[in-house]
A and B are shown apart, each in its own frame.
Chain A
Amino acid sequence: MSSLPRRIIKETQRLMQEPVPGINAIPDENNARYFHVIVTGPNDSPFEGGVFKLELFLPEDYPMSAPKVRFITKIYHPNIDRLGRICLDVLKDKWSPALQIRTILLSIQALLSAPNPDDPLANDVAELWKVNEAEAIRNAREWTQKYAVED
């Protein structure tokens, strides 16, 4: 593998020195392009109190391609599917090399505060979110307690 671009080194240092509130990202000790990420559920969201594990990988041509990000912890959310894949425009066609790991993780945190059932990835979840929001939120709280809260 080629040497690590300066930009990745700088981003990593800044993530460690000035972490974003509620977000923790550390590179894997064997692979500096693979990050272990923890996002805490935002207050006043059904994910409050949860600690969600994610993985983030910087592809070879980063920042010309978006980072690959996936939830590892199970989550009940209309824009996140069973495999933890995230439906977020900045991870796809709205990616720009001016964005960075920090901004992407902030967008994911914002997605937890504001689920968007009109642009679904998990269809059954999105459907319920539209027809019976109260029940969907209850489910999301239950899943948070069941899968994202450490005993």
Chain B
Amino acid sequence: MSDYFEELGHTPTGPEGANDYERHHRRLQVLAIMNGIDIEIQVPEASKRAIAALSVHTVLESELGGDLECAVCKEPAQLGDVYKILPCKHEFHEECVLLWLKKANSCPLCRYELETDDAVYEELRHYKQDEPNRRDRHDHLMNSMFG
């Protein structure tokens, strides 16, 4: 699409000029996904607030020899290792998971999504989180009409 504008010598307008175009384009992608169109979208990093809120687990001697392993570096837990626990309860070495959360907002094991600072993407994240409720509401409506 941006090529098309370039060809016409046109700068997309808006209060922030060309930068605003990027935001609108992302918004359009988000709306497309909400409408069931399967497209790829650039995933934002987790917000600093979400990262700061993660709890910490320091590996104790009694936990050694179990199956605790960091799924990112694939190393078994060692005494004194610092793990970060995500809201989905999956835990990883602090330095391993922080590297990842600066690239994407999801749990490496179950793709649970953490909060981001990207207002447009947050719309999609909330929409996805609401999925089970939406299905319930739909079923409820159907049952009330045809049940």
Chain A interface residues (CB < 8 Å from chain B): 5-7, 10-11, 63-65, 89, 92-94, 96-98, 100, 119
Contacts and interface: CB of A to CB of B under 8 A. Distances in A.
B38 A97 contact: no
A6 B76 CA distance: 13
**Chain B residues touching A, majority SS:** loop
Contacts, number: 35
B128 interface: no
B40 A64 contact: no
* Interface residue range, chain B: 10 to 19
Contacts of A89: 40
B119 interface: no
A56 B72 CA distance: 20
| Nearest 7 pairs of A and B residues by beta carbon | A98-B108, A98-B71, A96-B108, A97-B72, A93-B40, A97-B108, A98-B109
19 contacts: A6-B73, A7-B73, A7-B74, A10-B74, A64-B99, A64-B100, A64-B103, A89-B40, A92-B40, A93-B40, A93-B42, A93-B43, A96-B108, A96-B109, A97-B96, A97-B100, A98-B72, A98-B108, A100-B74
